[in-house]
Chain A
Amino acid sequence: MVEFKKNFAFFLFVIIYSSLIYGESQIDIFKVQKVFEFPEIIEPRCVAEYDGKYYITDHSTHRIIIVNKERNKVVGYIGKPGQGAGELFRPTYIFIKNRKIYVFDYAHEKGRVQIFSTDGKFLGQIPLSFEPWMGFSVNSKGEILLNQPQKKSIMSVYDENGKFIKSIGKLKQVSEIYGNNFSSLNNTYRFAVNRVYLDVDREDNIYSVFIFAPIIQKYDSNGNLIKEVRIRGKEMEEIVGYFPKTHKPTGLVKTGIDGVLVYYFIKFAIIEPKSNTLWVLTGKDDYFYIYNLNTLEKIDELYLDYSLYKGGIFYLSRGDGELFFSTVLKPGLYKLEMAKNK
């Protein structure tokens, strides 16, 4: 009888624990908080954190704004509007590695990567011949990863002087993803279908999340493909039905890239630093799919209620232990926080 009670208690514990992790209560487990509401920050895009300071790119004032975390106060700026060395025009993605800031800006038609020291000194720039669009990341060695399908691979890796090091990832064809019925579109969508978000984990493994296809890839630090999974979920199945434009999509955002018009299947993908999981923001109703970094298994889903923020979520970025998202149309920067009761 005692054994039965023990087993029953254990069984009950497993049920409750599982329901906490995988239950239907995802809507309530995260808090959304608007942050950095300073008059100096007008159109924030992405955040990086270093030594107790946040470095925030601002699309409107064309500079990096430095906020002291503890004092919650703007303490400095990097860059000024322009296209010269050290000047910025529409800066977006930002990473800090080895005390160096890597920022992507749209100074020229194809964009460029600029490098600053954390105290704001200009260190160098890499003008790009092919726009990486949303695929930009930096690994622990300071190597820059750019999604440039025009260079016949998913990503190109450069050193911080702009010297090309290697290519990673084989390009996919539309027919490979969506079936032979679409083979006539292989050429038209040859670049667009290979547009990806890129992120790098602590071991320099690379995660490549396709924007117009339901695919996640994981590469090791040497660029070998370790795993590839198909993104599955109710929202994703519906979205995939919109390729190329077979139905009129509801709620998806349309964009023009590489000479074609497409809808964002995935709006962003990033590694969440606290739980060390990969967060994929689907193009439909701001649903997040959350993946285990090791297995690339989907472990959770999260729906963000529209009433918690204004505008449309478009950029995800992270501090040392926090995840941020910025909104467009009604610009703002928000922090996603796990509620204490989880």
Chain B
Amino acid sequence: MKVVKEFGYSLKKIISKTIIFLCLILFFVKGSHSTQTLRYGQSFPPIRGNDINTGKEFVIEKGKWSLVFYTSTPVSENLSFLKYLDILFQKLKFRNINFLGIIENQTRFYELSQIHYPIIIDKNFSIGKKLKLKKGQIASFLIDTELKIKFACYFPIKEEDLRMILEENLFGFITQFKKPDNLSILNKPFPAISVKNIKSNNTIKFNDAIKNCYLIVFGPECTRCELKKYSKSLLKFERFLNSIPIVVLFSYKFSELDILNYLKNAKLDLFLSTDEIHELEDLYYSKSYFDHEVIVIHVENGIIKNIIEFEKFEKYFQEEF
């Protein structure tokens, strides 16, 4: 009887102590997790999922650097971020680095299908929770070969920022820092950029394929609204195509579907950049062209001869023809 009583007492004691212990653990674990975000130097939690394009399972593993971008819905800005990462992925795919996009809600399937690195869907927000995100939040992470976080950011950042962080950590230097002179690209060969012909779906090197043209450039600062605004003017140029070669180039930030939506009947050649177009992008930040959303580059024998704003080009056409 004594033994039973003692046993009963000690069992009660053990159970109550265990409950208190578990409560304490839960309190501290839950407490620290719910208030803190992931930070530099911490371990990245294990995450896995299936790539929506290949169906293959993706796991972040040791021995490789990883760049992870989380977004709730791939609306225009976030989508352009995912597309920019694809450009980086194409450049760095032989450099021992994983790229991963995680999306809470699957939309814009066509655009996502064009992305070459794994994209996984986090329908029940379980990965988001592990990464300490709030619903609707955007986050970027760079993880080293030991799964330690080298960069964690819970607000939208510029694509350029992520590239610089990545290059600095991987190579110890940054490929592009300086702001080029706005006139430095005049009389120089048109840059070797990869572009996709939206109608034929062929990807070409622009400088090899097209040597003479008036190139209408919708740069990274333009938006879908600009496209709508300019689409009528673009169609006006079509009747001069036999005498003057006019082609249109869109920054990778544009959605292919948006372009086709506004210009589906256009006879003009429409190219979407699948590359960074630094030299052209920087024109938008330089003094002369900053105020102009769309610019026209005159390319002759593969050399950049002149750059003018779209409005002047349009006026010139109206007066001359």
Q: Do A and B come from one complex?
A: yes
Interface residues of chain A, those whose CB is within 8 Å of chain B, are 39-40, 42, 60-62, 80-84, 89, 107-109, 310, 330
**In angstroms, how far is the closest chain A Cβ from the Cβ of B192?**
23
Question: Which residue of A has the minimal Cβ distance to B37?
Answer: A109
Per DSSP, chain B at the interface is loop
B40 adjacent to chain A (CB < 8 Å): yes
**In angstroms, how far is the closest chain B Cβ from the Cβ of A133?**
14
B27 adjacent to chain A (CB < 8 Å): no
Interface readout for B73-86 with A: 1 if CB under 8 Å, 0 if not?
Answer: 00000000000000
In Å, the complex CA distance between A61 and B165 comes to 10
A107 touches B40 (CB 8 A): yes
A-B contact count (CB 8 A): 49
| CB contact under 8 A between A83 and B290, given known A60-B160, A108-B39, A109-B37 | no
Q: Which residues of B have CB within 8 Å of A330?
A: 290
Question: Which residue of A has the minimal Cβ distance to B181?
Answer: A39
| CB contact under 8 A between A84 and B150, given known A62-B161, A108-B39, A109-B37 | yes
B151 touches A40 (CB 8 A): no
In Å, the complex CA distance between A42 and B174 comes to 15
Q: Which residues of A have CB within 8 Å of B259?
A: none
Query: What 5 A-B pairs have minimum CB-CB distances, sorted nearest first?
Result: A83-B40, A39-B178, A81-B164, A39-B179, A81-B165
In Å, the complex CA distance between A80 and B177 comes to 11
| CB contact under 8 A between A82 and B181, given known A60-B160, A108-B40, A109-B154 | no
Q: What class of interface size applies to chain B in its complex with A?
A: 20 to 34
A82 touches B180 (CB 8 A): no
Q: Which residues of A have CB within 8 Å of B151?
A: 82-83
B212 adjacent to chain A (CB < 8 Å): no
In Å, the complex CA distance between A199 and B174 comes to 35
B168 touches A81 (CB 8 A): yes
In Å, the complex CA distance between A61 and B164 comes to 8
B53 adjacent to chain A (CB < 8 Å): no
B177 touches A82 (CB 8 A): no
B194 adjacent to chain A (CB < 8 Å): no
**In angstroms, how far is the closest chain A Cβ from the Cβ of B72?**
18
In Å, the complex CA distance between A9 and B179 comes to 58
In Å, the complex CA distance between A107 and B152 comes to 9
**In angstroms, how far is the closest chain B Cβ from the Cβ of A70?**
23
Q: Which residues of B have CB within 8 Å of A60?
A: 158, 160
**In angstroms, how far is the closest chain B Cβ from the Cβ of A253?**
18
B179 touches A42 (CB 8 A): yes
Q: Which residues of B have CB within 8 Å of A82?
A: 40, 150-151, 165, 168-169
Which of B158, B164, B180, B290 has the largest count of A CB atoms less than 10 A from its CB? B164
Interface readout for B139-171 with A: 1 if CB under 8 Å, 0 if not?
Answer: 000000000001111110010110011001100
Given contacts A82-B168, A89-B153, 9 further A-B contacts (CB under 8 A): A60-B160, A81-B164, A82-B40, A83-B39, A83-B151, A84-B41, A89-B165, A107-B40, A108-B40
A83 touches B169 (CB 8 A): no
Q: Which residues of B have CB within 8 Å of A40?
A: 177-179
In Å, the complex CA distance between A61 and B168 comes to 12
Q: Which of B155, B168, B178, B290 contacts A80 (CB 8 A)?
A: B168
In Å, the complex CA distance between A83 and B157 comes to 14
Q: Which residues of A have CB within 8 Å of B39?
A: 83, 108
B150 touches A83 (CB 8 A): yes
Question: Which residue of A has the minimal Cβ distance to B167?
Answer: A81
Question: Which residue of A has the minimal Cβ distance to B151?
Answer: A83
**In angstroms, how far is the closest chain B Cβ from the Cβ of A308?**
15
Q: Which residues of A have CB within 8 Å of B160?
A: 60
Question: Which residue of B has the minimal Cβ distance to A311?
Answer: B290
In Å, the complex CA distance between A62 and B161 comes to 9
In Å, the complex CA distance between A124 and B37 comes to 22
Interface readout for B175-190 with A: 1 if CB under 8 Å, 0 if not?
Answer: 0011111000000000
